[in-house]
A and B are shown apart, each in its own frame.
Chain A
Amino acid sequence: MLHITTLHYLILGAALFLLGVIGVLTRRNVVIVLMSIELILNAVNLNLVAFSHYWQGMPARLGGGPLALHGQIFSIFVITDAAAEAAVGLGILIAFFRNKETVNIDEVNLLKW
């Protein structure tokens, strides 16, 4: 490949997303599950910034142009959400570890019937 297009970034984002999904579905350690969620959010962020770059090269009558930075704005909001999610998730993890002395996600079955 001689030059890098938007599709390259999308494929990289999809691969990272898949890695995150595999981590969420297969790991037992809650901390690593939360880190896999961060991987998923980062894959989405990469897609958003790549599309922002793509739209900056589009003509202005379609909504593009150098001011079309909406993808970057949205990725900043996603980073904010990731911070909030990590803080609350790790707080829940600490509360859970205090009660049951484990970090394994398949032993978290208090609400399961």
Chain B
Amino acid sequence: MAPVATPFFFYLFAAIMLIGGILVITRKNAVHSALALIVALLAQASLYLMLYAPFVAGVQIILYAGGIMVLFLFVIMLVSIERSMKERQFNSQWVVGIIAATALGGLFIAVYAKGRDIFPDGVSTIMEGDNTQKVANLLYGQYMFAFEIASLLLLVAIIGAVVMAKKRI
């Protein structure tokens, strides 16, 4: 299906993502930050759909907005946020941090301004119907070894999280 009103939806979702990101790093209450991050992640899933990546969009919604953010909210509820809300929110090196981030932004702008000619304007329109099938073929074919390593990584993460959060081993 041909895309409809792509620029409008791109700028809409980009604005939602940027506002969500700004709210994440400026809110005092960590729960508000988590909710803003969920909104940004959902907008990013919509952008994945516009890029003809429906499988990654579904993974983004289920795993990120559904799984990881619930984990974050649980931990926010476990640690006490009342005390940290009354305290200073930014650390003493924030000026240096902003300067470093600005320098990094200048680097990005320089690179993209120099390299913008190598990206042609032609927009490919691909049928997305068999995207999941193609992803599965690659994931279980060419990337089989990396897939197994990822499962091993998740096992290590489970053990690490349990060991860290356990009171007495």
Residues from 125 to 148 in B contacting A, C-beta threshold 8 Å: 126, 131, 134-135, 138-139, 143, 146
- Interface residue B4 (Cβ < 8 Å from any Cβ of A): no
Asked if A28 and B87 sit within 8 Å, CB to CB, the answer is yes
Residue numbers in A under 8 Å from B100 (CB-CB): 21, 25
The answer to whether A90 and B105 touch across the interface, beta carbons within 8 angstroms, is no
Query: A73-B135, A98-B167 given as contacts; is B101 within 8 A of A34 (CB)?
Result: no
Instruction: Choose one: B10, B119, B154; the contact of A84 (CB below 8 Å).
Output: B154
* Residue among A56, A76, A81, A82 making CB contact with B56, cutoff 8 Å: A76
**Interface residues, chain B, CB within 8 Å of chain A?**
6-7, 10, 14, 17-18, 21-22, 24-25, 27, 30, 33-34, 37, 40-41, 44, 47-48, 50-53, 55-56, 59-60, 63-64, 67-68, 71-72, 75-76, 78-79, 81, 83-84, 87-94, 96-98, 100-101, 104-105, 108, 112, 116, 119-124, 126, 131, 134-135, 138-139, 143, 146, 150, 153-154, 156-158, 160-165, 167
Give complex CA distance A95, B7 in Å: 46
| C-alpha spacing A82/B156, complex, angstroms | 13
- Of the A-B pairs whose beta carbons lie under 8 Å apart in the complex, a sample of 6, sorted by A's number, is A28-B91, A31-B76, A35-B33, A82-B68, A94-B79, A94-B164
